[in-house]
A and B are shown apart, each in its own frame.
Chain A
Amino acid sequence: DTGVSQDPRHKITKRGQNVTFRCDPISEHNRLYWYRQTLGQGPEFLTYFQNEAQLEKSRLLSDRFSAERPKGSFSTLEIQRTEQGDSAMYLCASSLTGGFFKQFFGPGTRLTVL
Chain B
Amino acid sequence: QKEVEQDPGPLSVPEGAIVSLNCTYSNSAFQYFMWYRQYSRKGPELLMYTYSSGNKEDGRFTAQVDKSSKYISLFIRDSQPSDSATYLCAMSGDSGGSNYKLTFGKGTLLTVNP
Residues of A within 8 A of B (CB): 4, 31, 33, 35, 40-45, 48, 55-56, 58, 91, 98, 100-108, 110
Contacts and interface: CB of A to CB of B under 8 A. Distances in A.
Given A31-B100, A48-B100, A101 B44 contact: no
B71 interface: no
Given A31-B100, A40-B106, A41-B106, A101 B34 contact: yes
B44 to A, nearest CB: 5
A43 B49 contact: no
B103 interface: yes
Given A41-B106, A105-B45, A33 B88 contact: no
Interface string B24-38: 000000001010100
B60 interface: no
Contact of A45 (B42, B45, B103): B103
B105 A102 contact: no
A40 B100 contact: no
Given A56-B100, A100-B99, A101-B49, A108 B42 contact: yes
By size class, the interface of chain B is 20 to 34
Contact of A102 (B8, B49, B95): B49
A103 B106 contact: no
Interface string B70-108: 000000000000000000101010010001111111110
A45 B106 contact: no
A42 B100 contact: no
Interface centre among B36, B49, B90, B101, by most A CB within 10 Å? B101
Given A42-B106, A102-B46, A105-B43, 5 more contacts: A40-B106, A41-B107, A42-B88, A101-B92, A106-B43
A42 B101 contact: no
A31 B102 CA distance: 13
Given A101-B34, A102-B46, A103-B46, A40 B102 contact: no
Contacts of A43: 44, 88, 102, 104
